[in-house]
Structure 1
Amino acid sequence: MSGGKRRRDFEEDDGYRDFRPRMPKRQRVPPVVQLCKEMMPDIKTIGESVKAFDDDIKFLSEAIINEFDNEEYFRDALLNTFYAVVTEQPQKQAAIALLTMTVNAGNPIAGKSILNFFFSKLQNWCDATIDETFEAAANETGPWNKIKLITRFLSLLSPIVLEDELLSLYRKIFDLCVLLNDLGGEKRVPLSEAIYFNMLVNIPYLFFFQKQNESLTDAVFDLLSFVESNYKVKSTDLSLTKEYNGKMPYISQQLVQMVFPAVKRVLGHDMQQLIELFPDYDRLLVEQQNMHAFNDPLNLPAVERLRLFSGLDRGFGSVDGMWKTPRTSFKVYLPSTAGDFETVVPVNTYAGMLLNDIIIDIVEGMEFNRREVARQVITLDLFFKPGIFAEPGLSIAQLVSLYEENPIITTYKIEDLAIENILSLIFKLPNVSQSFAYFYTLLVEICQNSPKAIAPVFGRAFRFFYGNLDNLDMELKLRYLDWFSIQMSNFGFSWKWNEWEADVVKFGPSFYNPRVALIKNLIRKELRLTSNRPDVEDSLTDEFKQYLDTSYVPRTDLLAFYQSFFTGFSIEEDMLKDNDLLFKQGVIPGSAYVLRLLDYFHKQPLDRNVSEIEAIFKEMQDEFNSQIPNFNRFAVTVIAQALVYSGNRSLSHANKYIGDAKNELQEFLSKIDSPDEIKERWIVEAVLRFWNSNSQNGYLIADTFKNNDIISCESILSFSLLDDNGRNWGLVDATAIESTFRILSELALRKQTSVKTYAFVYERCLQLLAETAAGLGVSEDEEIKSPIIDDETMMDLPSELPKLDLIWKYEAILGLLKSILRKYSDEFVLMQDKLITECQNNLSHHPTQALLTKWIEELVML
């Protein structure tokens, strides 16, 4: 190179390689896009930093005032971000409203545009309430819930919206609510109750920024007077949806009955309660020169058109759907026994109702972002007046100490409030709003974010449900079992088992005691959740290690089952091996033929013919007829277990073997000279005995036989609910109960026109109730109740345990029947009259008759 230093050209063969990544040329991001990338996340997190809040309002409002009129891209991004925050994180609505009003003071056109945008959204959701094609996504809370949230936001904007406009909006919606309610006569109208609650809980937000507005106050009290005079609150007692059978651990109240008094109280006494609840943003509220009206009147659907949707049973959204049945208060954290104080804001106060409502909206509306939900619900206190909640993370012991020193301090814990509301969704009856996996993993996430603060909160909930287990609804016992076991698996199976030792000592010999049954099911479930058995073993105290045996039936029963096939040959206990085929062991009569059968099932399906199976069993019978007296039962059992053994590596493996052999098995069974019902019973028994150490697998594989039309639903249900010397595993074993629900749920999902399987379960439960009542020897009018077991009655417990076990059995049957009637109400309501007739004809015990009749009559309300 001339005129300068010579540049060397580096080539790869000179030993040089350029390791710089080959990046595409960076495209220049338009300034408006960059602005949105910087601003929108700040809007989404507004209010999360209390110290930065004033500056955020100032800087964000200035940017919006300057940019709103310039770029459509910016306007769209801003409005959509506002809408997302308002509907998904309602605790931040006041901050967005303050931001909007600050913008309005500097740019009235922008303020009006924001108002118009939300009003158009409100109209769109009003139109959607009668849209028969509307399909709700998992995070869709529902049109009426969206109307609630948007109306709440518009109420916050009262300083820039003409008073008459807002009051007219409320009056129109309440008029519709009253008309809907009147259409139902004396019966509750779910949609009317939802609107009534939603609008009432919004009214105090009209005063968030103007608590001293006398004309607004007068107008609102006139509106409330109209509502009080014209809306008839109906009390509907639905025992089928109560979380507890018998005595409740707390007084449950319906939201629709509590909301009006709570709103009146919060607006009374110069709104002192409201001042103590809402944060004071008045210092940031700039003077408004521009008041706005809505462009058009709100167009609400005609009441006759809404009548079709008034039952809220069309799947419009998770929160709207919660109003299908009466919404009642749900409590876990009752006043502390160590110090008589509440840790959760009382639900009959406006603050309690509002906070619960917001948490549920966050949990349901942001289902797509579990991590964000976990963060938001635990920091909810940031968006309300400081001092409502105690310092986060304080233990109950610390609270007790502080409370004793100063009884006027707050004892409310934000952790308790958040967890209680999530548990209310997990334990929601009749239906849960989201998948259980979402709620369970959400709780795991919350705990992982702050284990020292949250783990004790979970522990108190575990103890509460365990302490009230005797009366807890059977379906909820299964949900409790699932939640507990999942949390334990995430806590390394660490639990203070010694707390429950006394119950095992007292009731260990019992088969039906609900606490012993839960402990057994819990340990078995934990063993299924881990591949490292010692993790569970090491967590248990000696008293509980007796339950590490996961056998469905005791080994003695299993031994008797296999011995029943043979005469003149003894089955020894050491021959029984988990998940193995006993009949192929060399010492067993006919084992060589069983090995041939296994070889047959390992052939390709095209290379097989059922005649080979028939030949194998014909030769076996000829040789061992004297040692195998009931050869039909033996043959069905062996062929079923041979198939299960062939596919015992996994469920998919089992499905393949059973599916491939379907036609051969059906043909072989058709030639067995025994009733179909008996043959199917043999198959179910064969499968469950093979998988005796893991009955969950057994029931799932029985489902595969059912799904391949080899056995019926009734054969599995009948086996589960079989009374075997007074023991009925279908009433206490979680895998058996889950199997019952799974079978009935699959039928419901297919929308089977036949209800015979449901009738079968109902009739079987009636039979069990009649037999158990007779066994107790009670008179026709005598109540059957568990006695209170205290120190005085403990002396007689051993002699009374057999009778107590029968009472617990009776309660278990009732619990199962209640859950089944509720869970499959659409099917049972089709035979309502028949159910009542059968109850009266087959049960002579009058209190049980009356209870079942009440449940059956309630089916139409579910």
Structure 2
Amino acid sequence: MSYDRRGGYRRRYRDDYDDRRREPFETPEDKLKTAIIKLGEVDAIEELPRLQKQIQDHVPVNIAIVSEAFRIGVTEQPYKIPYYAALIRLLHEHPADSMGHAASPLGRLILEDFWKGFQAYLDKLAWREARLCIHFFAHLTVAQLISPESMVALLQAFTAVLDEFGVSHGRAKRAALCAAEGLMISGPGLRTLSPTNVTDIVSAIQAFNDTTGSAKWLVQPTVKVFSDEVMIDNGDEVQSEFLLFFSLLTPALQLLDTALFALKTLVDSDFKQTADSFPQPYANIPALDNELSQFVLPSVLVPPEIIELDALSNDADADDTAQVKKEEWPEYFLRLFDNDVSPDPNTPAGYAVRTALLDIISIFEVNRKECARLLLEYPKWNHPGSFKPKPGAPVPPEGENSPVPGKDWQLESTIIETILGAFLILPESSHKSVYYISLITELCKLSPSTVGPAVGKSIRKLYGALSEGLDVEAARRFAEWFAVHMSNFGFQWVWKEWVPDLALTVQHPRRTFMRRAIEFEIRLSYHDRILKTLPEPMQGPDAHTVPEQAPGPDYEYDDPANPHHDAAQSVLNLFRGRAKADDVIAHLDTLKTTLETTDDTEGNVDATVRSIAVQSLLNIGSRSFSHLLNAIERYLPLLRSLTSSGNTVESKAGILSTAAAFWRHNRQMVGIVFDKLMQYQIVDPTDVIAWTFANRAGGLDAFEWDLMRGALDKANGRVVIARRRVTALRKEDDDTRARAKAQAGAEEGGSAMEVDADANTKPEEVTDSPALATAIKAFTSLTREQRGALSRTLEGFVDCLGPNASDASANPNPHARTVVTESAWHNRANWDSDDWSAWETWGWYRQFCRAYSPYLRNYSNTLYTVSFARLDGSTDPATELLKKTWNVATGQDVS
């Protein structure tokens, strides 16, 4: 370094000193807080006495800091809750006054401050944090630190939510889980009280769960469709269901059902199984001194949920007070493995394991690498012997940490099953699909030798379930996960295992899965590379598994033999030269005149010119995504002129058909182009939906559903944005008027405050600002568009699946009707492609109803009248199934 005569060395050293001085300084309180949060990094049991002494020796006592550390630990590291309860129990006998004077126990003071945090969670309706705090209180009840009476009262406050008038399913479900899980853990501390209290809590949860039968019917992940009433065996109980029968090699389990099964098992055993299900590190701590009173939890009232009324809707059928969010459906988790491989959630121990893993997955969504590490380390927080030791791990002496009877599960299989169960929840998972997929990838990287086989077994289980009625939406996500996972590990899979399935009909779910998975893989790599990974029987065109050509554009007019080759080249040259849109429009008009006099395609000249223009424009934009956007944005006037000429509906459908034909070898680009055409309002979502139904080949497949889903999401998203804008502008207008009134009152020098001033003032007419009036007009238009998109989708499904004649009792759709009969399902091995295609269409109809139920409920009367009126009086099984699905989705079926 060169020397600066003006004190260069001194300046450099001074800068280094300033940098050191800016380093964060950790206070003793910060160190104590960190120590509490990091409890158990090595061995929690051994660390408890040392951490207890560290907290006791800290002078002066900072209850707020310690309590905050406990709140962070409990709500962000729930697997440590039993050990935090043990730490509080140890601190409870230590007085807070370090001078030895009489004072409240340190544990009591921490709990008092911790309760304030719990009340804050409850006021904000932070359900997960509140539920985990209840776990903490429940452990402290068993540790004899919290009075059983107050714990029962707390649980009863949550069961009271279940009796609220019009309570939403989501609110009731969360409250029921708080009460059920709290009772599971605190049961040993409550059994000395009146057994009636425990029974009442269980009965309240059961009564609510019994009311959700219809909703369960629509979101089960495996389905056999038929119209007869059947019995479903779900564990120890048998319940009646209509129109659908669900099964899997290992049944799917609903969240509240499993909670009730586990809770009833504990109640029947007088909670003797609680200690085997939930760790109790405080069990060996001596009983409390009689002079130290237990902590009494204050009374609470669960705040009501906030209902946002939509006062902007002009539709008479809109009923936003009854609107249900998508996450308010019952949650079903797929079981992939037998009970000796992964724990049965119907048992207390199995329920505890799955709940703990789900909490880790949800909380650490912000850091998938940390989440993967914690999932693989989970056995250290559970009972020794619950999971099989890792290969090569030292074998403990006989009698020490020996497998617990009925346990000895496989950790990796349990984790993968839990992740996939959360990933495949219908109609929508709690987190983005990419999170679950990347989390499994991180697990494989951390422990490839143990996680890899578990992933392989899971893939084979799900693949086997495809022919057993796996829901089409779950199958679509499965294909997406499979392809992305293969892309992360060299696209290595034993495809030859599935070669025998090539003998199945082309539309069989297993054949369909192969095509989708390979299509997704090609999107993530290259056509030729993926082709090399497949066995020879899958590569031929007769296999109908691999696309014949690599993804790319198909410019129809590039062939010199095409009669319109020269005309297309002239248009293409204008685009290449970045000619103005008006010049291109003028050239197309000239071209149209020329074709009318020379071309033999009578009546199709407009379609020909439109096809030439759109294909040429897409050809310019085919080089990259940015080229596509630039081309569309530059020639928006041209595209609008193409849709405004002649029949508008026909013109828009023609543009969509041309775009689909141009990208027929790359279906992903079809969706992208359609989305951009809707974004720039060249076509409407209703146009895309109508085109999709008009151009389907028989039934509806996943690609066509993706096109419709994109259109529906576009229509719904625009309404949401418009509503927010109207709300913001209305608030701005109100604030402006309030300021104007206040200023006018101030200028009048107080005369406006006279008692009789209001009596002599005529009410002024309130007028909206121009911006607000424009926003309301736009919102009304977009709401109409939303309703039209939903109506067109529903009509399309009714046309596909319902009777095909005006007389609803005659001429039913043969394949749609066939797959809803019980005998046909049991004979599905003989189904042809049309039957399986109809079955898939039924699946997408179910997904449409459950995924968009919040919007369907808003217009239920109008939509039903438009779409189902012609089916009234029909007793056809397909008609009954259409109506049943609709009624459940819109909340009109309460059976």
TM range (shorter): 0.7 to 0.9
* 1:731 pairs with 2:676: no
Cα distance between partner residues in 2 of 1:776 and 1:160: 62
Q: In the alignment, residue 655 of structure 1 is paired with which amino acid?
A: L
Distance 1:670 1:741, change over 3 A: closer
Question: C-alpha offsets along residues 255-289 of structure 1, whole Å, 9 cap, x if unaligned?
Answer: 43453453353366575422323445358736655
- Cα distance in 1, alignment partners of residues 196 and 711 from structure 2: 55
Change (3 A) 1:40 1:544: farther
State the alpha-carbon separation in 1 of the partners of residues 363 and 551 from structure 2.
50
Alpha-carbon distance in 2 for matches of 1:477, 1:702: 24
Residue 473 of structure 1 deviates from its aligned partner by: 1.7
**Cα–Cα, structure 1 residues 169 and 525, in superposed 2: closer, same or farther, change >3 Å?**
same
Structure-1 separation of matches of 2:475 and 2:624: 28
Taking the aligned partners of 1:549 and 1:613, their CA distance within structure 2 comes to 46
User: Which of 170, 186, 190 is matched with 2:152 structurally?
Assistant: 170
- Which letter does structure 2 place at the counterpart of 1:191? R
Between 271-280 and 84-93, the greater mean CA deviation after superposition: 271-280
Taking a change above 3 Å as real, the CA distance of residues 228 and 784 of structure 1, as seen in their structure-2 partners, is closer
Cα distance in 1 for partners of 2:88, 2:382 equals 19
Candidates 130, 140, 148, aligned match of 1:147 = 130
My pick for the range that moved more, 248-257 or 52-61, is 248-257
How has the CA–CA distance of structure 1 residues 548 and 688 changed in structure 2, closer, same or farther, with 3 Å as cutoff?
Answer: farther
Partner of 1:199: 179
Aligned to 1:809: 837
1:461-610 pair list within 5 angstroms? 461-470=458-467, 471-507=469-505, 510=506, 512-530=507-525, 532-546=526-540, 578-604=552-578, 608-610=582-584
Kept in 2: contact 1:200–1:259 (CA 8 A): yes
Q: Give the conservation status (yes or no) of the 8 Å contact 2:67–2:111.
A: no
Superposed, 1:374-389 pairs within 5 Å as 374-389=372-387
Post-superposition shift, 1:534? 4.4
8 Å contact kept, 1:44–1:85: yes
1:522 CA drift (Å): 0.9
SS in 1 for 2:192: helix
Q: Does 1:635 align with 2:615?
A: no
Work out whether residues 446 and 454 of structure 1, in 8 Å CA contact, stay in contact via their aligned partners in 2.
yes
Give the aligned partner of residue 248 of structure 1.
247
CA contact (8 A) 2:344 2:350 kept: yes
Aligned pair count reads 759
Q: Distance in 1 between matches of 2:18 and 2:46?
A: 37
Question: Aligned AA for 1:23?
Answer: D
Larger RCO (CA under 8 A, 6+ residues apart): 2
Deviations 1:280-318 (A, max 9, x none): 53587366557466688333147xx459599xxxx9xxx
Counterpart amino acid of 2:176? Y
One-letter code aligned to 1:689: A
Quick one: structure 1 residues 524 and 540, their matched pair in 2 at CA, closer, same or farther if it must change by over 3 Å?
same
Aligned 8 A contact 1:362 1:373 in 2: yes
Give the equivalent residue in structure 1 for 2:48: 57
Aligned-partner Cα distance in 1 for 2:478–2:551: 32
CA contact (8 A) 2:387 2:409 kept: yes
Query: Structure 1's 298 and 848: CA in aligned 2 closer, same or farther, altered over 3 A?
Result: same
* 1:743 positional shift: 1.1
CA deviation profile, 1:75-94 (whole Å, cap 9, x unmatched)? 55543332122012211011
Q: Which amino acid aligns with 1:297?
A: P
Letter in 2 for 1:300: L
Q: Residue type matched to 1:298 in 2? A: S
Asked whether the 8 Å contact 2:385–2:404 carries over to 1, the reply is no
SS, match of residue 60 in structure 2: coil
Alpha-carbon contact 2:615-2:662 (below 8 Å) kept: yes
SS state of the match for residue 675, structure 2? Answer: helix
Letter in 1 for 2:116: S
Structure 2 equivalent of residue 648 of structure 1: 622
Structure 2 residue matching 1:850: 3-state secondary structure: helix
- CA distances 1:363-387 after superposition (whole Å, capped 9, x unpaired): 1122212212112222222112111
Out of 812, 826, 831, the position equivalent to 2:854 is: 826
How many Å separate the matches in 2 of 1:19 and 1:489?
53
Match of 1:333 in 2: 336
CA shift digits 1:676-700 (9 cap, x unpaired): 2222222112111111221111221
| Deviation readout 1:293-350 (Å, 9 max, x if unpaired) | 6688333147xx459599xxxx9xxxx989722344x233232xxxxx5312111112
Q: What's the TM-score, normalizing by structure 2?
A: 0.76
Measured against aligned partners, the alpha-carbon deviations of 1:417-439 in whole angstroms (never above 9, x if no partner) come to 22222212211122221111212
In 1, the alpha carbon distance for the partners of 2:11 and 2:521 equals: 51
* 1:119 and 2:115 correspond: yes
The counterpart of 1:678, out of the listed 638, 641, 650, is 650
CA distance 1:840–1:813, change in 2 (3 Å): farther
For the residues of structure 2 that align with 1:280 and 1:299, how far apart are their CA atoms?
Answer: 27
Q: Which amino acid aligns with 1:709?
A: Q
Residues 146 and 296, structure 2, Cα contact 8 Å, conserved in 1: no
Q: How much has 1:103 moved relative to structure 2?
A: 3.0
Q: For the Cα contact (< 8 Å) 1:332–1:461, is it kept in 2?
A: no
**Structure 2 residue 298 is the aligned partner of structure 1 residue 297:** yes
Structure 2: 5+ residue stretches without partners: 97-104, 225-245, 310-319, 394-402, 720-781, 805-810
Q: In structure 2, what is the Cα distance between the partners aligned to 1:410 and 1:585?
A: 68
Q: 1 CA distance for matches of 2:108 and 2:371?
A: 32
Is residue 682 of structure 2 the alignment partner of residue 710 of structure 1?
yes
Which ranges of structure 1 fall in alignment gaps of 5 or more residues?
1-8, 130-142, 336-340, 396-405, 556-575, 791-799
Which residue matches 2:884? 854
Paired with 1:307 and 1:858, the residues of 2 have a C-alpha distance of 24
> Contact (CA 8 Å) 1:200, 1:263: kept in 2 or not?
yes
Contact 2:336/2:458 (CA < 8 Å) preserved in 1? yes
How many angstroms apart in 2 are the aligned matches of 1:780 and 1:546? 31
1:785 to 795, 815, 824: 824
Name the CA shift for 1:538/1:219 in 2 (closer, same or farther; >3 Å). Answer: same
Using the TM superposition, give the Cα deviation of residue 832 of structure 1 relative to its aligned residue in structure 2, in angstroms: 3.3
1:65 is aligned with what amino acid?
Answer: Q
Q: Is residue 597–residue 616 contact of structure 1 (8 Å, CA) maintained in 2?
A: no
Task: Tell me by how many angstroms 1:68 deviates.
Answer: 5.4
Does the CA-based 8 Å contact 1:523-1:547 persist in structure 2? no
Matched with 1:744 is 712
Q: CA deviation digits over 1:57-80, x for unaligned, max 9?
A: 22222211111525x5xx555433
Deviation per residue, 1:727-753 (Å, 9 max, x gap) = 34x723x43321211111221222342
Taking a change above 3 Å as real, the CA distance of residues 818 and 586 of structure 1, as seen in their structure-2 partners, is: same
**Cα distance change on mapping 1:372 and 1:596 into 2, 3 Å:** same
Q: Which amino acid letter does the alignment assign opposite residue 762 of structure 1?
A: L
Could you give the per-residue CA deviations for residues 794-850 of structure 1, whole angstroms, max 9, x where no partner exists?
xxxxxx6xx622211221221111111111112322443455554462596711111
Contact 2:342 2:413 (C-alpha < 8 Å) held by counterparts: yes
Aligned to 2:738: none
The alpha-carbon distance between structure 1 residues 618 and 782, as it changes in their structure 2 partners (threshold 3 A), is closer
Name which of structure 1's ranges 293-302 and 190-199 shifts more when overlaid on structure 2.
293-302
Distance in 2 (alpha carbons) for counterparts of 1:417 and 1:257: 19
> What is the aligned partner in structure 1 of residue 433 from structure 2?
436
RMSD: 4.0
Change (3 A) 1:661 1:394: farther
* Letter in structure 1 aligned against 2:86: L
Question: Separation in 1 of the partners of 2:192 and 2:517?
Answer: 58
Q: Which amino acid in 2 is paired with 1:366?
A: F
Moved more, 708-717 or 443-452: 708-717
> Partners in 2 of 1:777 and 1:167 — Cα distance?
58
